Amino acid sequence: MRAALTGGAVRLHSDQHAIEGYTAGPVPASPIPLWLGSQGPRMLAVTGRSSDGWISPLNIYVPRTRSPPNRRSSTTPLARPGATRRRSAGSTT
In a shared domain, residues 62 and 42? yes
Those residues whose C-beta lies under 8 Å from the C-beta of residue 87, and which sit 6 or more positions away, are 93
pTM: 0.50
Which residues are registered as beta bridge partners of 18?
Answer: 13
In a domain, 44, yes or no: yes
In a domain, 47, yes or no: yes
Which domain, by its residues, includes 51? 33-68
Average pLDDT over residues 6-33: 90
In a domain, 87, yes or no: no
In a domain, 75, yes or no: no
Whole-Å CA distances, 46 to 15, 24, 83: 18, 23, 40
The predicted-structure confidence for 38-61, as pLDDT tens digits, reads as follows 888 898 899 999 999 988 876 566
For residue 88, is pLDDT > 60? no
In a shared domain, residues 1 and 23? yes
Looking at the structure of the chain, the number of domains it has is 2
In a domain, 78, yes or no: no
